[in-house]
Structure 1
Amino acid sequence: MRMKFLALAVAGALSQAAFACTPGSYTDNVMFGTTSAGVPNRVLDASCTTIDDQIADESPWGNQAAFIAHVSTVTMSLQKAGKISALERARLLTAARTSQIGTTLKVKLIAFNDFHGYIKAGEGSSSNPGVARFSTRIKELKAQNPLHAVVSAGDMIGASPLTSALFKDEPTIEAMNRIGIDFNAVGNHEFDEGKDELLRMQHGGNHPTDPYSGLGLNEDLKAGEFAGARFGFLAANVRDEQSGDTVLPAFGVKDFLGNKVAFIGMTLEGTPTIVSPSGVAGLTFGDEADTVNALIPRLKAQGIESVVVLIHEGGAASGGINGCTGVSGPIVDIVNRLDPEVDLVISGHTHQAYNCLINNAAGQPVRVTSAGQYARNLSDIDLTIDTRTRDVIAVAANNLTTGTGSTTAEDPALTDLVAHYDSLAAVPKSRVIGRITAAISRSQNAAGESALGDVIADAQLDATNDAGTGEAVVAFMNPGGIRADLPFNAPNGDVTYGDAFTVQPFGNSLVTMTLKGEQIKTLLETQFNGCNGQTAERILQVSVGFNYSYTAGNACNARVTSMTLNGVAVDPSASYRVTVNSFLADGGDGFAVLKEGGNRLGGAVDTDAFEAYLQANPSGVTPGPRNRITRN
């Protein structure tokens, strides 16, 4: 009985297929979206083509006139061929107008931020999916809508693991070229090596002195050299101090079937406070909201009504990667001051993922997204554009995880690039430079102290405390310069150069200087958000022998309540030899008092100092005790 039932079912399906492919047969009317044309959707030939099949009503249309013209052309052809009558053609044209097809257009934006050169899966963090999986997810989103743009809100490069950083971050640019992104707003880390290097990233050419430059695969090079980015870097608020011109375009425009979307890109105004002064020499950084608002009339004069801001500044919120509970941070004030013409803000910098609605200057909610960091997430955003006004009338956004391991396959179009650079970096990366007894984390306790911060500060003190190297008595390390945990590699706890480089990828040198005790207090009082010009809480890590306490609720410049060195109170009028990295020594992270330090002596590169410290402790360096800073 079962076999007979199956046979009858197959026969019935074949009979239906035969009926469906009989010219003139039909089962329903022609539909344009939800609008019925009142015309039988007849089969036109033995290939099963119907009237509806001839009319591409489900394709994107840049405007309604284009769709109606298409219907007119197709139906005239069908009428001449005797497939439809003149009355049916008239009904089809009426339905096309009634359907409103072409009056709106959906565009997909695929956004990310703070990629930081994390091209190799697992490097720097076990949760790093790698650029090949990142590419897979981007391709999946691209496939959902042929009208799309892929954009980044800054820090695509800089502070990168060795597989990218050793080669001046050229591998990351080449990977993004292969993925096919459209625009990257500059972040603060794009300025780590100065304007000229940023322009080289855009325009190409090998680095003038670095032997690891221009070593890409042939398909990624141009005339045997690094080809530069095939996408646009944007820097609306960064100007040359002398000429007043922006160093890179302020915005980029992408045309979607005649509907133009402008992408204004910029970094945070405070970039000079968190980048080495040499990196921003000769540049000025403007207010973010003022910069955007000043560009709106220029865009409107070009007939552009759809405006997206890519900004390397952000905030924080709770509620998961699509949460927006208690949103705070600089991005709130910036959006609150934005012109209502801005339709969407894609943010970054804080490494937080969120999906928010924040009011603009007119009190209207604007969608604000951030995808976190290191390719872990992507923002999937749909813009609905009114093709008559050219303006965005709806924005829908959802942050998605990239996925690691078996959850997301690696894109074969990227695996050879990653393997190439991984192979070239294998020897320097795998060199063992010492041992640790357990994994050492950069996670901070309630006082802001981390085990890894303790160890790095100790290493810097050890490198500069002898006669001839600086005679330092204390070292301070900025937490933002510690980019990853130091993993324990079984079975012996070997630390490789690649591990150490991932932790401290900036190549800063050590500087020992003389400070008065009162200047050290000013240094510590500057750690707190809103105090002495500080824009965020940045608790400096301190070396062994130095202890201090602070009361978070006290007023600025009265929070540090005690400072001791080897158990003795720090004397405000006494002089002390202090070691910091070159970034801090030049006033980086807002610690301007360090620029006042005298009797400066340059020292080793930070990674070399760390290596020497590991080698000086052959039995293994233990995690720091996290007992040097006390919060009351």
Structure 2
Amino acid sequence: MPQHVRLGSALLALVLASAAAPADAASAEARSGPPIDVQIMSVTDFHGGDKLPSQDTNIYFADGTVHEAGDAAYLATELDRLSVRYRRGNSFRVLNGDNLTGYNYPDKSLANEPAMEVLNALDFDFSSVGNHDLDWRIDYLLEHTSEQACPAGPRADDCFQDSTGSLFAGADFEYLSANVQWRESGDLVFQPYAVRDVQGRRGTESKVGFIGITLQGSDRHAMSYNDALVTTDPVAAVNHYAAELQAQGVEAIVVLDHEGLRQDSQAVDACENPRDLAWKVATEAVPAVDAVIAGHTHGLASCTVTDPAGDPRPLAIGGSYGNVIAELNLSIDPRTDDVIRDRSGFRMHPVTEDVRPDPRIRTIKDHWAGFAAERAVTPVAWTDGSATLDRDASGESTLGNLVADAMLRSSQTEPELEADLGMVATQDHSGPGWNSEIHGDLIATPHPDAPAGRSAFTHRAAFDVFGHEHKVVTTTRTGAQLEAALEQQWVVGPDGTESFYPLALSADVSYTWRASAPVGDRVDPASITVGGAPLDLARTYRVAGPVDTFNGSSDFPALRTSELMRTHPQTDHITFVAYLRELGSVTIPERDRVQVTP
């Protein structure tokens, strides 16, 4: 909290000290001295550290200067350069969430372990929990950040050897979140805060508290959907734990808020028309909070806001992929432990390529890139041919059928996930391409180890063809809703043009539709069977598929649900790869589940 809020009590303490025992006077003298300087270097939305190819890599400043951003090897050099100006123990490296879910094949396909090893080498102390840190099921994150990350040894889709030849050993930094709770118990999943001791030049001591905040609603987003979790109000969580920290004698409090901050300027050191959720926390949290570090939106800004007591409060967001370090400098009065606000604030440092890259990080990245390249061409299954999105007259495709079968099989891995059928929207209403669940054809390639007459589905081909690194879920729909969803495969646009967006169904489902019937009345309900039995419009069915098929993203209103869906163990990419691996030898499905009549 700010220095002047405690000024009255400090003066009173001085008056009382004149009459206090000698021991009290000695204690007061021990706490006197110059302000304690603290450095907090923040990196947010690391996402594995590699940018999308289409992303602007320039960093702009208000004075017109432009810097080309470097990668994690340059980030390491810059962190080391900045930290030498501060006492050992008074410099902290913090992450502000979304460390995981890179956009490159190595990170996505190797369970984020490349990013984890890089971040460990960068020596971060702790991190808030970002929404993308929850993209895998929660038990994955808890396991992979523990000291016993891979107790059973290597596995097919995680627990690989790192650059040292050792088995992946988990994150060295601690995750913090004051507002992620277990849905059933209401208990916190992570520690809400961390406290660190700091020292002044004359042996004075104080403490700094760090509160982690996660974007509210992360538990319901497509990628981070977690049926076991609930995220609560950030401001209420900050206020609660700020009071708890103060009760422990901690007066210097920083919030690592993985929520967005936007502004109108592209300059990293500007603050034009600031807005978004982190702004709300920064302006509404109790005066005890001394600074807020934002994230999530990949924005760049350095602001000073006014807290509810009318005091200045620093607020900043430092971009993404490690391209900017938001350095927060705090000045703490050792007599009161309060932050001196007018001597505290942010400095924004671009990570540029005009310094020597850290060879340790280069070695780590090269190791994982090489491993991923070898794994990309490794067969996961043998096959008698390619599986494609080519449709027959009914709308069926061999790849759609194969993916739908994978969804049903995934539901059989745990009793609470068990489903009656698998279902996948094969094409997004915005058109074919990356927005769709299935991105292209699964092409079989020759391989020297393939059995006679067979080809290979390689790991990268299978991994890339389906999914967005989103969840696979099991949900409940009525028979009437399933029939309505089948009718919604046909859409008439404003200009009268009719479009067809087929739903792929698992092999235990069949139905017939009439091409000449009007849109909305093409499917014969009596022809629909599930598991060999006629569809009962009144009963409920358990349906497995990508979360996007059921959350509205795929534009099938009858499938959309706000009810709790059960989360499968793996993301969509890995679920499909695991299914092909389990089959070992893939026979391309026939297109015989849907019939069309004139």
Same-fold status (TM-score > 0.5) = yes
Equivalent residue number for residue 295 of structure 2: 348
2:47 is equivalent to residue 116 of structure 1? yes
2:255 is equivalent to residue 309 of structure 1? yes
The offset of 1:156, in angstroms, is 0.4
Q: Give the 3 Å change call, closer, same or farther, for CA 360–273 of structure 1 in structure 2.
A: farther
The offset of 1:358, in angstroms, is 2.8
Q: Give the 3 Å change call, closer, same or farther, for CA 245–326 of structure 1 in structure 2.
A: same
Q: Give the 3 Å change call, closer, same or farther, for CA 351–274 of structure 1 in structure 2.
A: same
Pick from 555, 565, 572 the counterpart of residue 498 of structure 2. Answer: 565
2:307 is equivalent to residue 360 of structure 1? yes
Q: Give the 3 Å change call, closer, same or farther, for CA 169–608 of structure 1 in structure 2.
A: closer
Q: How many residues get paired?
A: 429
Pick from 140, 165, 169 the counterpart of residue 112 of structure 2. Answer: 169
AA of the residue aligned to 1:228: G
Describe the SS at the equivalent of 1:328: coil
- Relative to total residues, which structure has the larger helix share, 1 or 2? 1
Describe the SS at the equivalent of 2:339: strand
2:524 is equivalent to residue 583 of structure 1? no
- Structure 2: runs of 5+ lacking an equivalent: 1-28, 58-68, 200-204, 380-387, 402-422, 440-458, 501-516, 525-543, 562-567, 577-598
1:240 and 1:608 mapped to 2: Cα distance? 25
Normalising by structure 2, what TM-score? Answer: 0.61
1:150 and 1:217 mapped to 2: Cα distance? 23
Describe the SS at the equivalent of 2:181: strand
2:406 is equivalent to residue 475 of structure 1? no
Q: Give the 3 Å change call, closer, same or farther, for CA 473–184 of structure 1 in structure 2.
A: closer
Equivalent residue number for residue 241 of structure 1: 183
User: Retained in 2: the 8 A contact 1:587–1:594?
Assistant: no
2:362 is equivalent to residue 399 of structure 1? no
1:346 and 1:507 mapped to 2: Cα distance? 27
Pick from 75, 85, 93 the counterpart of residue 134 of structure 1. Answer: 75
1:112 and 1:213 mapped to 2: Cα distance? 25
Describe the SS at the equivalent of 1:326: coil
2:208 is equivalent to residue 264 of structure 1? no
Q: Give the 3 Å change call, closer, same or farther, for CA 166–391 of structure 1 in structure 2.
A: same
User: Retained in 2: the 8 A contact 1:546–1:563?
Assistant: no
Q: Could you say which structure has the greater relative contact order, defined with CA pairs below 8 angstroms and 6 or more residues apart? A: 2
2:129 and 2:467 mapped to 1: Cα distance? 22
Question: For each residue in 1:48-95, what CA deviation from the matched residue of structure 2 results, as whole angstroms up to 9, or x when unmatched?
Answer: xxxxxxxxxxxxxxxxxxxxxxxxxxxxxxxxxxxxxxxxxxxxxxxx
2:312 and 2:522 mapped to 1: Cα distance? 54
Pick from 23, 33, 39 the counterpart of residue 102 of structure 1. Answer: 33
Question: For each residue in 1:559-579, what CA deviation from the matched residue of structure 2 results, as whole angstroms up to 9, or x when unmatched?
Answer: xxx785349xx99955799xx
Equivalent residue number for residue 528 of structure 1: none
2:245 and 2:555 mapped to 1: Cα distance? 39
Pick from 255, 262, 280 the counterpart of residue 197 of structure 2. Answer: 255
User: Retained in 2: the 8 A contact 1:234–1:249?
Assistant: yes
2:121 is equivalent to residue 184 of structure 1? no
Equivalent residue number for residue 274 of structure 2: 327
Equivalent residue number for residue 65 of structure 2: none
Question: For each residue in 1:160-205, what CA deviation from the matched residue of structure 2 results, as whole angstroms up to 9, or x when unmatched?
Answer: 4222232211222222222111111001111111211111121042
1:608 and 1:464 mapped to 2: Cα distance? 27
2:554 and 2:130 mapped to 1: Cα distance? 17
The offset of 1:459, in angstroms, is 6.8
The CA RMSD measured in Å over matched residues stands at 4.8
Q: Which has the larger radius of gyration?
A: 1
The offset of 1:476, in angstroms, is 3.8
2:238 is equivalent to residue 285 of structure 1? no
1:112 and 1:576 mapped to 2: Cα distance? 53
Equivalent residue number for residue 226 of structure 1: 168
Within 5 Å, which residues of 2 pair with 1:227-626?
227-257=169-199, 258-276=205-223, 279-319=225-265, 320-394=267-341, 395-404=344-353, 407-429=354-376, 465-466=395-396, 469=401, 475-476=428-429, 497=460, 501=464, 506=469, 564-566=497-499, 582-587=546-551, 593=557, 595-596=559-560
User: Retained in 1: the 8 A contact 2:83–2:91?
Assistant: yes
1:108 and 1:575 mapped to 2: Cα distance? 66
Within 5 Å, which residues of 2 pair with 1:9-158?
102-118=33-49, 127=57, 129-146=70-87, 147-158=90-101
The offset of 1:265, in angstroms, is 0.4
The percent identity for this pair of structures is 24
User: Retained in 1: the 8 A contact 2:117–2:162?
Assistant: no
AA of the residue aligned to 2:293: I
